[in-house]
Structure 1
């Protein structure tokens, strides 16, 4: 493995792990806050038990997210010094503000974890809300920095020199809203389905059914709402990508030739040498219609870009197809849940229905990983779109492959530790005060 590939692989590995920790850390506090609010309003001890159990999970993911995020911040400087030298003064502000949000989140989480029976009960609840808001703010700020790499702004670039730097404009670059919206909704969908799947497994095993039924409902409602909203944010993102990164869109769709009345591709195997896609389902004119509002709209193909400026087509296309397919699966499950809750509540306790959600536990995070692959691989060969190539930003330091192997071991060890802690936490779920309570699935 050469050093350039090792540096990219190490960054991909770090981001791949961190994005799961950060998504859960962003979203779980809102589940916790909803459960705590219902407890304060009703006095139902089941909700208090759920809140306390979830708060311990939040603490686990906060700690692991802090570790993996710190590693990423060092990797930016160590692996990509050429990038940080030029880009640091331009897009550094969101990282600085993210640090502030992180400290606020840490303080609020400390208040929340140790504030039971010590603070005013509504102030205590509010500290949990602050944890969630700070986590969302951190995620949005990091995504703003990443979106700057996709749609750089806030500076003038001429003759290899960056001038007229405006950090505010760089932070609120043209792509920050669409990318932050899409990522935030994806985090809610992925975390909602994952948490619902864990509680569905406990219900299926007939463990503390009243407790897990309530927890399942809260997580499922969040996840389903996000899954149903995600196509709207996806449409906004796709239109923006078509405007600012046409090569990425062409790779996503394996669209080789520029033209109008372009079909939407479903599935297929790209053949980059023959410049065509095999075995795909083609929906006539739909891509042109989705991007331009008319089938006469022209969609730029890969033929308009020099070979050295084209992203890897196969990886980008497969990742995009996986993301869309899993997103559609979550939407279908959401509609099924709504139908069951409305018309046939007994379905919500059916073994096959629980198995469906158990199966879907990792689906949202697989979709998130696939979407992040589209974002990063689809931008290649650029680290700053259209301005700096990734190969020009990598460190000249030799031996990066060994660093990649070491960090791979560290991250897998960290993942095993998280799994162990979560399994232990699930086994320690308290018994329900009212063991005869009827499961609340709707």
Structure 2
């Protein structure tokens, strides 16, 4: 493995793990806050126990997210020094603000975890909300920095020099809103389905049904709202990418030739040498509509992009198909869930629906990872789109392959530890009622 590939692989591995830890850390505090609010309003001990159980999960993922995030910060300087030398002063503001949000989150989490029976009950609940809001703000700020790489702004690039730096314009670049919206909804959807699926599994196993049913409903509502809103944010993102990064859109849809109107491809096997896609279902004019809001609009293909500026097509296309396919499936499950919820049907009688949520436990995170592959691989060969190539930003230091192996071992070990801690936490959920009545279960 050469050093350039090792550096890219290490960064991809680090981001792949961190994105899961950070998304759970961003979203679960809101589940915790809702449960806590319900306890304060109803004085139901089930909600209190649920809040405490979820708070321990939040603490676990806060710690792992902090570790993996810190490692990523070091990797940016170690692996991509040329990038940080020029880009650091431009998009450093969202990173510094993210650090502030992280400190607020840490302080608020400390107040919440150790504030039981010590703080005013509503102030205690408020500290839990602060954990969620500051965590969400951290995620948005990091995404703003990534969006800048896709849509560089806030400087003039003249004769290889970065002049007239405006950090505010850099942070609020043209891509930040669409990427932040899409990412936040993806985090709520993925984490919501994972948490709801775990509790659905416990219900199917007839373990602590009252506890797990309350938890399932809270997580499932968040997940399903996110899943139903995700296609709308996806449409915003698609139209944005069509304007700013036509090469990425062409790779997402494996559109080798400019077409007017352009069809939307569903599935298909990409042959990059022959520049063809076999076995795909074509929806005439649909890509033109998604990109421009016009079924007859022209969509630029890869034939209008210089070969040395074209991203890898097969990986980008397959990742995009996986993301959209899973997103569509989760949206369909969400519709079924809300139909049953509005009809006030007991989920205990809908074992098939609970099994769907169990099946969906990993799907949200698979779609999340696929979406980041589309974002990052689809931007290649640029690390700063249209300004700096990725190969020009990598460190000249030799032996990066060994660093990749070491970091791989660290992240795998960290994942094993987190899995063990979560498994033990789930097994330690107290038995709240021995023989709950049907009325109690449906409360």
For the superposition of Structure 1 and Structure 2, which TM-score range results when normalised by the shorter chain?
over 0.9
Give the match for residue 246 of structure 1.
246
TM-superposition CA deviations, 1:71-123 (whole Å, max 9, x none)? 00000000000100000000001000000000000000000000000000000
Determine helix, strand or coil for the equivalent of 1:345: coil
Tell me by how many angstroms 1:342 deviates.
Answer: 3.0
- In the alignment, the residues of structure 1 paired with residue 293 and residue 314 of structure 2 have an alpha-carbon distance, to the nearest angstrom, of 27
Give the match for residue 138 of structure 1.
138
Tell me by how many angstroms 1:349 deviates.
Answer: 3.2
Q: Give the root-mean-square deviation of aligned CA atoms.
A: 1.2
Shift of the 80–137 alpha-carbon distance from structure 1 to 2, 3 Å rule, reads same
State whether residues 111 and 124 of structure 2, in contact with CA within 8 Å, keep that contact through their aligned partners in structure 1.
yes
Determine helix, strand or coil for the equivalent of 1:270: strand
Tell me by how many angstroms 1:337 deviates.
Answer: 0.8
For residues 34-53 of structure 1, the aligned pairs below 5 Å read: 34-53=34-53
State whether residues 151 and 174 of structure 1, in contact with CA within 8 Å, keep that contact through their aligned partners in structure 2.
yes
Does residue 1:355 correspond to 2:372, yes or no? no
- In the alignment, the residues of structure 1 paired with residue 412 and residue 390 of structure 2 have an alpha-carbon distance, to the nearest angstrom, of 26
Give the match for residue 119 of structure 2.
119
TM-superposition CA deviations, 1:245-284 (whole Å, max 9, x none)? 0000000000011121100010001122222211000000
Which segments of 5 or more consecutive residues in structure 2 lack a partner in the other structure? none
TM-superposition CA deviations, 1:262-317 (whole Å, max 9, x none)? 00010001122222211000000111122222222110000011111000000000
Give the match for residue 318 of structure 2.
318
Which segments of 5 or more consecutive residues in structure 1 lack a partner in the other structure? none
The farther-off stretch of 98-107 and 290-299 is 290-299
State whether residues 264 and 285 of structure 2, in contact with CA within 8 Å, keep that contact through their aligned partners in structure 1.
yes
For residues 387-426 of structure 1, the aligned pairs below 5 Å read: 387-426=387-426
- In the alignment, the residues of structure 2 paired with residue 61 and residue 278 of structure 1 have an alpha-carbon distance, to the nearest angstrom, of 42
Give the match for residue 13 of structure 2.
13
State whether residues 267 and 279 of structure 2, in contact with CA within 8 Å, keep that contact through their aligned partners in structure 1.
yes
For residues 312-391 of structure 1, the aligned pairs below 5 Å read: 312-343=312-343, 345-346=345-346, 348-391=348-391
- In the alignment, the residues of structure 2 paired with residue 331 and residue 241 of structure 1 have an alpha-carbon distance, to the nearest angstrom, of 23
- In the alignment, the residues of structure 1 paired with residue 361 and residue 12 of structure 2 have an alpha-carbon distance, to the nearest angstrom, of 23
- In the alignment, the residues of structure 1 paired with residue 379 and residue 442 of structure 2 have an alpha-carbon distance, to the nearest angstrom, of 43
Does residue 1:293 correspond to 2:293, yes or no? yes
TM norm structure 2: 0.98
- In the alignment, the residues of structure 2 paired with residue 407 and residue 338 of structure 1 have an alpha-carbon distance, to the nearest angstrom, of 43
Give the match for residue 154 of structure 2.
154
- In the alignment, the residues of structure 2 paired with residue 434 and residue 152 of structure 1 have an alpha-carbon distance, to the nearest angstrom, of 59
- In the alignment, the residues of structure 2 paired with residue 228 and residue 68 of structure 1 have an alpha-carbon distance, to the nearest angstrom, of 30
Determine helix, strand or coil for the equivalent of 2:278: strand
State whether residues 210 and 433 of structure 2, in contact with CA within 8 Å, keep that contact through their aligned partners in structure 1.
no
Determine helix, strand or coil for the equivalent of 2:430: coil
For residues 72-87 of structure 1, the aligned pairs below 5 Å read: 72-87=72-87
- In the alignment, the residues of structure 1 paired with residue 310 and residue 286 of structure 2 have an alpha-carbon distance, to the nearest angstrom, of 23
The farther-off stretch of 392-401 and 430-439 is 430-439
Give the match for residue 224 of structure 2.
224
